[in-house]
Structure 1
Amino acid sequence: MTPPRLADRLLNWFVAPHLREEVLGDLHERYTLRVQQWGAAKARRRYWREVLAYMRPSNIKRHPSDYSNPANTDMLRNYLKIAFRNLVKNKVYSFINIFGLATGMAVAMLIGLWIYDELAYNKSFQNYGQIARVMQHLTYNGQIGTQSNLPYPMGDVLRTTYNGDFKRVVMASNTDSHLLTVGDEKFNKIGNFMEPEAPELLSLQMLKGTRAGLTEPGSILLSESVAQAYFGDDDPVGKLMKIDNKLDVKVTGVYEDFPRNSEFRDVSFIAPWKLYLSNEKWVTGMADAWGWNAWYTYVQLADHADIDKISAKIKDVKLTRVSKDDAHYKPVVFLEPMHNWHLYSEFKNGVRSGGLIEYVWLFGTIGLFVLLLACINFMNLSTARSEKRAKEVGIRKAVGSVRSQLVSQFFSESLLVVAFAFVLALVLVKLILPSFNGVADKKLVILWSMPWFWLLGIGFSLLTGLIAGSYPAFYLSSFQPVKVLKGTFKMGRLAAIPRRVLVVVQFTVSVTLIIGTIIVFRQIQFAKNRPVGYNRNGLIMIQTTNGEIHSHFDAVRNDLKNSGDVEEVAESGSPVTDIWSTNGNIDWKGKDPSLAADFPNTGISYEYGKTVGWQFTQGRDFSREFTADSSSFVINEAAVKFMGLKNPVGEIIKWGGHPLKVIGVIKNMIVDSPYQPVRPSLFHLSGSSNFVIIKLNPVKSTSEALVKIETVFKKYNPAAPFDYKFVDDEYAKKFGDEERIGKLATFFAVLAIFISCLGLFGLASFMAEQRTKEIGVRKVLGASVLNLWGLLSKDFVMLVVIGFSVATPIAYYALSDWLQRYSYRTEISWWIFAASGLGALLITLLTVSFQSIKAALMNPVKSLRSE
């Protein structure tokens, strides 16, 4: 019976070589006797105990030739001590290594937290894997569009006809702003009307009351923040409130605010669906209106249900119930699982085309590359300074160290640097996170209490240390001691090639990020400079939550205009910067009978065109002098083109069978995405409104004008708070995602360049130090400072040029693909690449020049006195 092999291997690792044979011989002899006396099992246990006793630091016997054993506690302490002395001795290089690695790790942490937040979107819901949103594909205007708005009867049909496939079916209104009133406290809060099972579907975390709070028609559930705003520390359950100054409700529960990374993060209250129906009388008339898409339907699948099979089962649920005219839209109903809502939300012509997942991959890749740049700095500086450590390696090998022990020594130095960098990275992330959250529109925090965060962070640091220290460890340990100690060791011409390749990689990444950042901002600016078709300056919108302002509109308009601070006032059914309503069943002369049309159709008052500054190309605006204008359309250029109208003014367009005459054509107004073509749009006079649009007098003070406007609104609707929005600000929000991406890309590009420049500074400093005597000789022979600066800088310039040459095709291909997602997009001009390359070159010269000029100005007497 042989002793345990694993125990012998551990012993070989810990016991000095000159003692191993003696120790193993004694152990094996005792083991053989014990097997005969006690049996194999007990003998093996005792053998393991004796082996472990030998592995204690106090029992390990050492030999001078074994001083670099990495498992030896004293030697580990010796390694760390040597590593720390090297760091202190070479302060500049230590700073570059530690700060560069810390910056790279901080970027990786920030991106990691951002990606974690994105991937965790909506996962706070207990039923996350079973929740889906019912959506539909519709074919109109020659293309397939995808939308989540559905007809009112959809919920009942799914609940009754397909009840075996769903646990819950919940109908919901649009998430919108409503006036909540408690005594004198009045605020506009964003909320929703939902069916009673919504709290269970969304797994509300109830702080007070129960999830059954929506069963009563006159009830309301408040978020924690809203309850605190209205009631402070008092218990709100049972208290009375008003919604929009007309619906009396009682608080039946308070739920924890939805997380910020949630689809429902803006929902601050939920009211019963029945209350919505009782208030909006017109909705009850839509019980069989399958062609009217205005509501949302959420479902929770039955246990073990297959979402694809259910989607296939319900795909024609609307097609078989719509009228013949609406059947032209070819509706296809399907289920969109919750895990796709955020990251895979985009559809193009009825096919999923991606979404924010593209940015997750993009920033994940950037994070890895920025960390790689930091590791490259460490590798380059370590290998560049290898000659200074060549004698150390030679002596270590001469006294018995083997290559594996030297590798362990250099890895320990690398890991020490990484340990310092990791701690500094945590400090940097803590300092940067507030600003990063502001740019990224997040509320990220360092997950201090999460064990996996530390496990991942430490594991990540170890991996970084191993990657960063791998090249120098194996390279330095390969030196031959005979040549080193004889003084005949020379670094070959090929030794610098790996460093040059790594510098090229650094600048390839940096230049690519520079080009990408310029293109992103150029695309944003290109869309911002696009003609919007109206005048946004001094234009404000006020949403009306009840009919008080509308019923007194003429008086409101007169008071505002008489104040002198307002040029014009109008009403609208939709905001100036968005589409709230579209209509089909549109017919015109020459229309293809098989074409299903769907146009944005906005109801407005007479003064709307003057207020927003319509730009007419043909015809005229609505006028109170023409009573027939109540049966007329003003259309945009996109509608004229789509309908193929040669002489549009005077043409008749039928809407639901009713003829309306075109009286004017306006330039295209951008009310939807500024990156997409303007949709064919119609405008008609309407007897209802949701918004008041006000054009301020440009020669008057805006702040004073707002005070007067508020006074007028309080006069006619004292119960409602004065809540306004500037059209300019709302339009700017359309660029929010792209601007955030651009700012984040700029942030990471700057850090990438900074890390690359740190490495260049270190290499330039080392090269200047290495060539001190050469520079002295050249100065004695008459070389000027400019000649020496060019000599020391030309190698780096060449590397940057190569990096730029590699980066250009990569950036062009990637950015051309990114721009394809926008119909209205900028061009990739040659000057962008030239400017990026020139910028990288200038940054390189500035970084290198400090050390080059410093070396060139050195007194040659000092550098040559040892010769």
Structure 2
Amino acid sequence: MLKNYFKIAYRNLIKNKVYSFINIAGLSVGMAIAMLIGLWVVDELLFDKQFKNYERIAQVWQHSSDNGTINTRGNEPFPLAEELRRKYGSDFKHVALSTWNDMHLLGIGDKNIGQQGIYCEPDLTKILSLDMVAGTADGLKDVHAILLSASLAKACFGDANPINKTLKMDNAQDVMVVGVYKDLPYNSSFAEVSFMAPWALYYQMAGLAQVQNPWRSNSFQLFAQIGEHSTMAGVSQKIKDAKLDNISIAHEVALHPQLFLHPMRDWHLYSAFENGVNAGGRIQYVWLFAISGIFVLLLACINFMNLSTARSEKRAKEVGIRKAIGSQCAQLIQQFFSESLLMAGIALMMALLLAQLLLPLFNQLADKKVTILWENPLFWLVCFGFTLITGFIAGSYPAFYLSSFRPVKVLKGTFRVGRSAAIPRRVLVVLQFAVSVILIVSTLVVYQQIKYAQGRPLGYDSNGLVMVEMYTNDIHRHFDVVRDELLKTGAVVEMAESGSPVTAVWSTNSGFNWEGKDPGMGLDFPNTGVSPEYGKTVGWQFVAGRDFSKAFKTDSAAFVINETAARFMGLKDPVGKTITWDDAPYTIIGVIKDMVVESPYDAIRPSLYYMDGGSGSRMIVKVNPAVSTSVALPKIEAIFKKYSPRQPFEYQFADQEYARKFGDEQRIARLAGVFAILAVFISCLGLFGMASFMAEQRTKEIGVRKVMGASIFDLWRLLSTEFVIMVAISLIIAFPLAYYAMDTWLQHYQYRSGIALWIFAVAAFGALFITLLTVSFQAIKAAMANPIRSLRTE
């Protein structure tokens, strides 16, 4: 019997090829997109869960009251590690200091490789439970040891055994490879850590033993694994004053630092804080993607159910004949369910194929490395479960409604499907287009926000600005000579040193005082040490005063501040005013327009620049606008290599680095755009099928109207009006929901655009245009048909 059901179902599919294609294609596209989004969401939710002690790992963070608000950050002073071990050792299983992941130079003979890595205490390897491929993680107890990731070990030594081989770190220290660990997963916070070197080595190289006030240097990461009988909240409460108890300087105490444990489970999705309160973070994208996936899948299911129920009404006579020759209601129900399940099953197979084909493009768009979980039973359970549910829901209407027909009425021709039978389908079409319009509006708002932020004045000229990373101080020692040779090439107009990249803040400090300052206010100002040529190199835009100059020796104790700093300090005429920094006087010699060096969506912070004679981490080079970068870069590299032959010439363009700050939003915009296009495509498939069905249902009516003199335009308007009304209702529903959702999303950004009215106008026009375009094909085709063919049976 079951075989017979599926045989009849197959024949019906072949008989109605167009409707079957629309039904299966729409559902398979929706299912494929839902699969990809589901894989993305799962990948996000599983972030860092590869670590064995995931639930008990945390990073020590602090709240501090500075610049009139509570700021939250994860950088700590290095003595804090020993303080936690000494005072709260029973609450922790492991505590480990670490530098931030940064680029370093690894030398192997004549070969030099720039790789990202950290200096850390040995316990970090236990916290992360590194999967060792060779050697031992305990080797980090040796001050001249190093652990390499498997991929870096292969890059350095090929297939040779790397254990006990020697590398030179940053052209300064020889280290021995004592272990190789398996590369950490792409969806982990340590994915880019290619090596781990001993904290003891960094302690020596950085001269931390000579730091006069080590509790002030908030420059490091501090990781911890709590004990089996401890809780994150309980330990956070215990340690909250561990830093405050060890500082005595008034301006440090004014910051009132409060420590807490930020659990690993929150690192990726819940790391945004506003005024000391967790405000979520990347979790908003997870929700956005998940809801988008559900919406796209919902559209596909609506199509499937609409067309399935619409076509089933034409089978009333078939039901009547079957019941007349003895078919039971249960058998008819099984028949309709088998047809629906067959179509849903075919859609599942097509969806799996489509998802596999789209996966590389999806990974590229989403910056992921997800794969379809072919060997995961749960994945197949979800796929088959959804297919069964969809098949049963779509088949329930024809199964229970049509199987209840009385065969006498059907066969006599007195059976008529009432107008009320079409109401559920109309409701579903309205819902379908409401979802599509919400996705269209959301996509346009995201793009508008990105464009708004991209149009924000930078306060400097990023064109042709090249940032060269420094692993050694070779160029610093020959700075004047290198600069002169670069200027003589004509490819460069200026060069400077800086303690931070142009597109980031690497140093903030307290201890600033000025006339009129509230003595109880905590401060934390971004400050950057630069060479005198920095302003000319980046193109500072002065509001008042002048730039640094070697001609004025007093400039070694001078500040150039931004407009926000001048406003924050309440200085109406700041040039010539004195700011003390740790009781040392500095004179303000210039005020520049605000530079956007951090997030383009955040407010500008009060920032100070000062002349620093030490070696900078970046050389900033301004390429001559009249010379192409392809010509200028080899000339710059040749001169850099001349004075620092062992250092690789690695550089970033400032404009490209700034553009990367829009990465998350641009990925969201691209994916939202794809979802919106697919939603419209699926909706159009449904409209095409419904319009075709309605035109077929009203064939005789159209024929009569045409014989009575109705024009093609009249008939087109007749068939199109109903769909236009449904889309208009969907707009009324969609616009308030879309506005509320996107206004809530925009609140996460301090520098944000509004929601322009043109977005809703474009969405409305697009929805109506697409509807008319889709429906018109079937409407005009029906209107132009020969009426004799439709009326000859009467």
Question: Which residue, 475, 484, 487 being the options, matches 1:558?
Answer: 484
What secondary structure is seen at the aligned counterpart in 2 of 1:354?
A: coil
**Residue deviations 1:68-110, cap 9 Å, x none?**
xxxxxxx111111111111111001101111111111111101
Q: Structure 1: how far apart are the matches of 2:600 and 2:82?
A: 38
Indicate the residue corresponding to 2:415 in structure 1.
489
Q: Structure 2: how far apart are the matches of 1:193 and 1:652?
A: 39
Q: How does 1:173-184 map to 2 (within 5 A)?
A: 173-184=99-110
Q: How does 1:294-373 map to 2 (within 5 A)?
A: 294-325=219-250, 326-373=252-299
**Residue deviations 1:324-378, cap 9 Å, x none?**
3211001100111110000111111000011111221222122122111111111
Letter aligned with residue 439 of structure 1: L
Give, in angstroms, the shift of residue 417 of structure 1: 0.7
Q: Structure 2: how far apart are the matches of 1:247 and 1:395?
A: 91
Give, in angstroms, the shift of residue 467 of structure 1: 2.7
Indicate the residue corresponding to 2:390 in structure 1.
464
Q: How does 1:43-62 map to 2 (within 5 A)?
A: none
**Residue deviations 1:133-164, cap 9 Å, x none?**
01100100110000110011011011111111
Letter aligned with residue 261 of structure 2: L
**Residue deviations 1:160-195, cap 9 Å, x none?**
111111111111011100011111221210000011
Matched, 1:189 2:146: no
Question: Which residue, 332, 337, 343 being the options, matches 1:406?
Answer: 332
Indicate the residue corresponding to 1:808 in structure 2.
735
TM-score, length basis structure 2: 0.98
Indicate the residue corresponding to 2:454 in structure 1.
528
Q: Structure 2: how far apart are the matches of 1:112 and 1:469?
A: 26
Q: Structure 2: how far apart are the matches of 1:827 and 1:130?
A: 42
Letter aligned with residue 836 of structure 1: A
Indicate the residue corresponding to 1:635 in structure 2.
561
Question: Which residue, 676, 696, 701 being the options, matches 2:623?
Answer: 696
Letter aligned with residue 284 of structure 1: A
Matched, 1:669 2:577: no
Give, in angstroms, the shift of residue 463 of structure 1: 2.0
Please tell me whether the aligned partners of residues 375 and 467 of structure 1 are also in contact (alpha carbons under 8 angstroms): no
What secondary structure is seen at the aligned counterpart in 1 of 2:162?
A: coil
Letter aligned with residue 83 of structure 2: V
Letter aligned with residue 398 of structure 1: A
Please tell me whether the aligned partners of residues 309 and 394 of structure 2 are also in contact (alpha carbons under 8 angstroms): no
Please tell me whether the aligned partners of residues 106 and 168 of structure 2 are also in contact (alpha carbons under 8 angstroms): yes
Matched, 1:292 2:217: yes
What secondary structure is seen at the aligned counterpart in 1 of 2:720?
A: helix
Q: Structure 2: how far apart are the matches of 1:651 and 1:483?
A: 98
Indicate the residue corresponding to 1:393 in structure 2.
319
**Residues 691, 389 of structure 1: CA spacing in aligned structure 2 closer, same or farther, 3 A cutoff?**
same
Indicate the residue corresponding to 2:769 in structure 1.
842
Q: Structure 2: how far apart are the matches of 1:481 and 1:803?
A: 38
Indicate the residue corresponding to 1:588 in structure 2.
514
**Residue deviations 1:682-741, cap 9 Å, x none?**
000001211000111111121110000000110010000000000011000111111111
What secondary structure is seen at the aligned counterpart in 2 of 1:834?
A: helix
Instruction: Give structure 1 stretches of 5+ with no counterpart.
Output: 1-74
Question: Which residue, 410, 417, 420 being the options, matches 2:346?
Answer: 420
**Residue deviations 1:610-635, cap 9 Å, x none?**
11111111111111221111111100
Q: Structure 2: how far apart are the matches of 1:830 and 1:775?
A: 40
Question: Which residue, 175, 179, 184 being the options, matches 1:249?
Answer: 175
Indicate the residue corresponding to 1:709 in structure 2.
636
Is 590-599 or 376-385 further displaced after alignment?
376-385
Q: Structure 2: how far apart are the matches of 1:605 and 1:478?
A: 87
Give, in angstroms, the shift of residue 866 of structure 1: 2.4
Indicate the residue corresponding to 2:199 in structure 1.
273
What secondary structure is seen at the aligned counterpart in 2 of 1:329?
A: coil
Please tell me whether the aligned partners of residues 152 and 286 of structure 1 are also in contact (alpha carbons under 8 angstroms): no
Q: Structure 1: how far apart are the matches of 2:560 and 2:302?
A: 63
Letter aligned with residue 471 of structure 1: Y
Indicate the residue corresponding to 2:717 in structure 1.
790
Is 192-201 or 389-398 further displaced after alignment?
389-398
Q: Structure 2: how far apart are the matches of 1:472 and 1:222?
A: 64
What's the Cα RMSD here? Answer: 1.2
What secondary structure is seen at the aligned counterpart in 1 of 2:90?
A: coil
Q: Structure 1: how far apart are the matches of 2:445 and 2:330?
A: 49
Indicate the residue corresponding to 1:832 in structure 2.
759
Q: Structure 2: how far apart are the matches of 1:410 and 1:232?
A: 62
Give, in angstroms, the shift of residue 410 of structure 1: 1.4
Indicate the residue corresponding to 1:476 in structure 2.
402
Q: How does 1:558-577 map to 2 (within 5 A)?
A: 558-577=484-503
Letter aligned with residue 332 of structure 1: Q
**Residue deviations 1:123-142, cap 9 Å, x none?**
11111111110110010011
Please tell me whether the aligned partners of residues 379 and 472 of structure 1 are also in contact (alpha carbons under 8 angstroms): no
What secondary structure is seen at the aligned counterpart in 2 of 1:163?
A: helix
Please tell me whether the aligned partners of residues 571 and 608 of structure 1 are also in contact (alpha carbons under 8 angstroms): yes
Please tell me whether the aligned partners of residues 153 and 287 of structure 1 are also in contact (alpha carbons under 8 angstroms): no
Q: Structure 2: how far apart are the matches of 1:128 and 1:288?
A: 34
Q: Structure 1: how far apart are the matches of 2:211 and 2:429?
A: 67
Larger Rg, first or second structure (1 or 2): 1
Q: Structure 2: how far apart are the matches of 1:371 and 1:475?
A: 25
Indicate the residue corresponding to 1:44 in structure 2.
none
Q: Structure 2: how far apart are the matches of 1:407 and 1:290?
A: 76
Q: Structure 1: how far apart are the matches of 2:101 and 2:391?
A: 49
Q: Structure 1: how far apart are the matches of 2:400 and 2:499?
A: 72
TM-score, length basis structure 1: 0.90
Letter aligned with residue 296 of structure 1: Q
Q: Structure 1: how far apart are the matches of 2:34 and 2:385?
A: 13
Letter aligned with residue 214 of structure 2: A
Letter aligned with residue 646 of structure 1: K
Give, in angstroms, the shift of residue 469 of structure 1: 2.5
Question: Which residue, 132, 155, 162 being the options, matches 1:236?
Answer: 162
Letter aligned with residue 279 of structure 1: M
What secondary structure is seen at the aligned counterpart in 2 of 1:362?
A: helix
Give, in angstroms, the shift of residue 288 of structure 1: 5.7
Q: Structure 2: how far apart are the matches of 1:625 and 1:286?
A: 32
Please tell me whether the aligned partners of residues 308 and 394 of structure 2 are also in contact (alpha carbons under 8 angstroms): no
Please tell me whether the aligned partners of residues 378 and 469 of structure 1 are also in contact (alpha carbons under 8 angstroms): no
Q: Structure 2: how far apart are the matches of 1:528 and 1:212?
A: 48
Letter aligned with residue 376 of structure 2: M
**Residues 661, 287 of structure 1: CA spacing in aligned structure 2 closer, same or farther, 3 A cutoff?**
closer
Give, in angstroms, the shift of residue 846 of structure 1: 1.0
Structure 1's consecutive aligned runs of 4 or more residues displaced over 4 angstroms after TM superposition are none
Indicate the residue corresponding to 1:85 in structure 2.
11
Q: Percent identity?
A: 59
Question: Which residue, 750, 755, 760 being the options, matches 2:687?
Answer: 760
Instruction: Select the structure with the greater relative contact order (CA < 8 A; seq sep ≥ 6).
Output: 2
What secondary structure is seen at the aligned counterpart in 2 of 1:188?
A: strand
Q: Structure 1: how far apart are the matches of 2:413 and 2:306?
A: 24
Letter aligned with residue 376 of structure 1: I
Letter aligned with residue 833 of structure 1: F
Please tell me whether the aligned partners of residues 439 and 740 of structure 1 are also in contact (alpha carbons under 8 angstroms): yes
Indicate the residue corresponding to 1:151 in structure 2.
77
